[in-house]
Amino acid sequence: MSAFSWHEDVTLHRQSVSRRGFLYGTSAAAAAGAFNFHDVMSAQAADLRKQGRAMILLFMQGGPSQLETFDPKPGTDSGGPTKAISTAAPGIQIAEGWEETAKQMQDIAVIRSMTNKEGQHDRAVYQMHTGYIPSGSIKHPALGCNLAHELSHAERELPAVVSIGNGRAAGIGGSGAGFLGVDYEPFHVANPGKLPENVAMTVNESRFKRRLGLLDKLEGEFASQGGATVVENHRRITDKSSKLVLSPLTKTFDLSHESAATRESYGNTDFGRGCLLARRLVESGVTFVEVRLGNWDTHQDNFDAVKGLARQCDPALAALIADLKQRGLFDKTLIVWTGEFGRTPRVNPRTGRDHWPRNFNALLAGGGVKGGQVIGETSKDGTSLVKDPVSVPDLFCSICKSLEVNPSKENMSPLGRPMKIVDGGKPVDGLFA
């Protein structure tokens, strides 16, 4: 299959349905006396799945300094040597080193007033992915897995959730699908640009299918002797894996289909290739993709370290926004850039910054978000919030609003306790036009 034919298949995958038509149909059913709440909710879920909405999370693992990214404080002791630069959005300045992102600022909303209480990496990473504090009694689903549960196609060939990059968050923030089950577990890609490991066919298709049939018989015997639950989960994993191996959409992972100019625009880095792969994946119908960039834990040499990280992140972020716009995917794809917390306004004796959850940054673009604006404000020295604090649940509710998912929907946990997709919070209304 050529690059053009898989793109045509993808386009068919992402066709939307008319919301007006859906509402008209349910109203007609109600008028005919056939109204059933379960039927309506199922139809609504199907409606959402056909809209092709998706999210790309760019997660800066380790906690990026807000003062060297999108809330610089030049001319202050807190700001250090970092200078501010102007952007395409009048009146908005960001830190030097982010020149390509500055050119896209008319499409980006900057939240400078993210605030939290978790200042330890593992706990904060978990919370910034699930919305919940870690608990010994339950493994909460990551928000991305919850979104895929609501939005993804049941008969998809590619995974609904893809995690790109190495590090602590390889399973999407140390959480994964939790009690949602194996259908929504993240598919991990360690080396973007190359085909994932073990997807290449080593035998012909007919022999591969015969092997699957033999495996099914062997598992059937085990299931009949008390292993039904284990077999069911393993069969679901095998089914997902075999669909991926046999699908022509596996070529989505091969970046050689992209032009040299496109690959160059994202940057010759793993993060750049990860962002390009993220665009290809959402274009192919994947609901949620996380791309990670690590080493933001800058307790020492903060200024030089962030410059190096910005050289990887800046071109990739800007290219992703431009590429999604050029391909008509921007309005239905939400991009979120953030980390688990920020860094201290005070520079420590090692020229570093320490953990600081009191105020930090997030960027949002696409998905109906109004760009060219700043939400929230910090004090001149960056030590306190001045206005419009945004909590983690507020951010998550905003994400749900962008993707038209009900954040209050409950899923039943293994303990028999209903768990909301987002517990508390409200959307940041200023984010949306």
Residue 209: CB atoms within 10 A of its CB come to: 13
pLDDT band with cut points at 50, 70 and 90 for residue 414: confident
Q: Reduce the DSSP state of residue 93 to 3 states and report it.
A: strand
Quick check: 287 and 55 in contact, CB under 8 A?
Answer: yes
Predicted pLDDT at 172: 67
d(CA 419, CA 178): 12
Residue with tokens 């590619």: 158
Half-sphere exposure of 150 (CA within 13 A, CB side): 26
> Is the per-residue pLDDT at 57 higher than 70?
yes
d(CA 162, CA 351): 36
Strand duo 342-343 + 187-189: pairing:
unpaired
Q: Which two tokens stand for residue 78?
A: 């807190």
> Is the per-residue pLDDT at 55 higher than 50?
yes
- Range from 53-62, 89-98, 241-250, 355-364 carrying the lowest mean pLDDT: 241-250
DSSP 331: G
Q: Reduce the DSSP state of residue 59 to 3 states and report it.
A: strand
DSSP 202: S
Q: Which two tokens stand for residue 433?
A: 């036009």
pLDDT per residue as tens digits for the range 252-285: 999 999 999 999 999 999 999 999 999 999 999 9
d(CA 275, CA 426): 29
Residue 4 contacts by C-beta under 8 Å, 6 or more apart in sequence? none
d(CA 320, CA 353): 29
What's the whole-model pTM score? 0.85
Q: Where are the domains of the chain?
A: 52-193+254-431, 195-249
Mean pLDDT of 219-232: 80
pLDDT per residue as tens digits for the range 153-169: 877 889 999 999 975 44
pLDDT band with cut points at 50, 70 and 90 for residue 47: low
Query: What are the backbone angles phi and psi of residue 374, rounded to the nearest 5°?
Result: -120, 130
pLDDT per residue as tens digits for the range 121-135: 999 999 999 999 998
- Which residue has better confidence, 250 or 394? 394
d(CA 250, CA 252): 5
Residue 380 contacts by C-beta under 8 Å, 6 or more apart in sequence? 73, 76
Cα separations in angstroms, 375 against 71, 270, 416, 430: 11, 31, 38, 7
> Is the per-residue pLDDT at 7 higher than 50?
no
d(CA 27, CA 32): 9
SS (HEC) of 108-164 = EEEEEEECCCCCCHHHHHHHHHHCCCCECCECCCCHHHHHHHHHCCCCCCCCCEEEE
Closest CA to 114 of 168, 77, 153, 66: 66
Q: Which two tokens stand for residue 72?
A: 């610089």
- Range from 6-10, 124-128, 197-201, 206-210 carrying the lowest mean pLDDT: 6-10
Q: Which two tokens stand for residue 283?
A: 């274009």
- Range from 28-32, 118-122, 187-191, 208-212 carrying the lowest mean pLDDT: 28-32
> Is the per-residue pLDDT at 53 higher than 50?
yes
Mean pLDDT of 163-176: 70
Q: Which two tokens stand for residue 346?
A: 């005070």
d(CA 377, CA 67): 13
Mean pLDDT of 329-347: 98
Q: What is the CATH number of domain 52-193+254-431?
A: 3.40.720.10
Cα separations in angstroms, 419 against 32, 176, 423: 35, 16, 8
> Is the per-residue pLDDT at 423 higher than 60?
yes
Give Rg (Cα) of the chain. Answer: 22
Q: Which two tokens stand for residue 40?
A: 């309506």
C-alpha triplet 38, 334, 51: angle, nearest 5°: 40
